[in-house]
Structure 1
């Protein structure tokens, strides 16, 4: 099948339910992959862009999952997800966590994950501050997995490995004011012995952010294409997007073919699932605009309007009374978009616990 980028954008908006559906948040399609929570609170804003139903806190859990980043995931999915994100080999493990300061740890491979996961299980029996857990875990693992930290004035575990192994170690996290608290999951499962279920992650990415390539999925997972390829599903449909080969699950092809650009206007938070696709040039073709949406530090939110990313937004609250949302448009906004943006700003204010919102469009 041949398609252009406008068809892909229309499909992804619908596949991710950005037309807003009447479902509990835990039943949203994006939870098949998880919703990144960077900065803290962004995940709940992403859910509110898709449903007006309240979040059931027992059904969702904040954990370190894909690439060690904090994600809201379904509580019932966590044991299987821990196995799906387990490295497939020693080389894969090293590719995921080894950086220059811990280069000597590369030969440990999967054992680095195992040591760290088991240390979490031994140390975290009750809620603990992140720094306390880091110190205790560091004392239980191979010294090559630790590094000297000038700000702390101590030697502790690599931050990448610490977060990558957290889910396998049966821990979740929550934010309490300015502190990160690590606590045991209700169902800790067991430390994975080997990877199982990576194909489910691949399919979820392709269904939500496809058509896509193996290289794009590997980048999302945090591994390399070579390590991902042996687990690539064999029942996918090839879609050529503007001449570029990509893939979609076979059972999603009819929805893709029927997708039409919706008129939904949404204020997407910085780490919204829609912005997690690794083909950024398709989402925002203008390279300069890409730099405005995806910054090295401090990403803004993105305005979805007319089936396109039409601008960026930032918000500032004045206590609990008013949320001021400033929109920087990339050009002329679609007709009636201003009214819709104001309505979405009220939704955003509600998620943040603020009484009302005011919008400025630049």
Structure 2
């Protein structure tokens, strides 16, 4: 049987539903909203990504004991449920034995430097030869935790998760395909920051759970358990202001999300701080930036009053603990 053909609208609708961007989860489900990891950064991106997916998010939700922070995919600061630490650390441990030894040596050095304290990153760097890449690699052992509070990064030691790295790698691939599928081993490599060789090995390990589909840009793989919901995905609905680094924006196939090259450059500019994105009914319609209590939204076309009202409501609900109400301004590019 030939692989099922899925259009662009079906792929985006599937991803939006899988990432809880069509309908917010209840407040008791914050861990589900963060199941694929939430990249953090200014302006408290993980918190805004959580807010886009679940009710009841407040300024301090990111610091809840149910969450922790690690250097996750691509070496980015990542907010993850405590119960998923193994997935986002051991799942990123390279298979190369030399790299594994290097990771453990770096972790040992960091643990010796921090003891039972939380230590500023810049003070820990000397323990790994002032190399940030070694510090991030150490996190893949599962023995390092971090806390980024918007100003500084604190590093602490932890016991390694009692999990098999191969199982963690496969589960990380499930999380990726479950939210950003259908995709390829190359796409998984780009999303994780791992080598293509590593990514292909993980794909092979999960082969029995994968099914081929055909999309506009070629043949891709999806979890077999998601096949029917992908093929039957319907039109997307809802308006969100996605922060920079939001999981939805981390899809490797950017041309599928934003077909026009100039608009892709606006969402993912090179050499400068990335903006957030205006998502409306399955389409990215523009970008936004915040300065203090001011949120400026720039669109690529006219948006109707319904979208404007919904976007302004989203901005007003940002759980950032500001002392003033958010003021939204609109512009056309």
Question: Which TM-score applies when normalising by structure 2?
Answer: 0.89
Q: Is 1:133 the counterpart of 2:120 in the alignment?
A: no
Per-residue deviation, 1:324:
1.3
Greater Rg over alpha carbons, structure: 1
Matches within 5 A, 1:1-362: 1-19=4-22, 20-29=24-33, 31-39=34-42, 41-54=44-57, 55=61, 57-90=64-97, 108-124=98-114, 125-135=116-126, 137-138=127-128, 146=129, 156=130, 158-168=131-141, 170-176=143-149, 178-185=151-158, 188-189=159-160, 195-232=166-203, 233-234=206-207, 235-242=209-216, 244-296=218-270, 297-317=272-292, 323-348=293-318, 350-362=319-331
Q: Structure 2 stretches of 5 or more lacking a match?
A: none
CA contact 1:326–1:361 (8 Å) conserved in 2: yes
In the TM superposition, residue 24 of structure 1 has moved relative to its aligned partner by: 3.0
2:39/2:78 contact within 8 Å kept: yes
SS in 2 for 1:353: coil
* Distance of aligned partners of 1:126 and 1:212 in 2 relative to their CA distance in 1, 3 Å threshold: same
Secondary structure of the corresponding residue to residue 53 of structure 2: coil
C-alpha contact (below 8 Å) 1:86/1:195 kept by paired residues:
no
**Aligned-partner SS, 2:277:** strand
By how many angstroms is 1:191 displaced? 9.7
Instruction: Classify 1:45/1:176 alpha carbon distance in 2 versus 1 (closer, same or farther; 3 Å).
Output: closer
**TM-score normalised by structure 1 residue count:** 0.82
Tell me, yes or no, if the aligned pair for 1:130 and 1:180 is still in contact at 8 Å. yes
Give how far 1:229 is off. Answer: 1.5
| Shift of residue 264, structure 1, vs aligned partner | 0.6
Q: What's the RMSD between the two structures over aligned residues? A: 2.1
Q: Which moved more, 1:193-202 or 1:71-80?
A: 193-202
Measured against aligned partners, the alpha-carbon deviations of 1:149-168 in whole angstroms (never above 9, x if no partner) come to xxxxxxx2x21221232252
Cα distance in structure 2, aligned partners of 1:168 and 1:27: 22
Give the whole-Å Cα distance in 2 for the aligned partners of 1:53 and 1:109.
Answer: 41
Q: Distance in 2 between matches of 1:27 and 1:110?
A: 29
Distance 2:150 2:257 in 1: 34
By how many angstroms is 1:195 displaced?
Answer: 4.7
Cα deviation, residue 220, structure 1: 1.0
Q: Deviations over 1:2-21 (max 9, x none)?
A: 01111111111111001212
8 Å CA contact retained: 1:85, 1:195? no
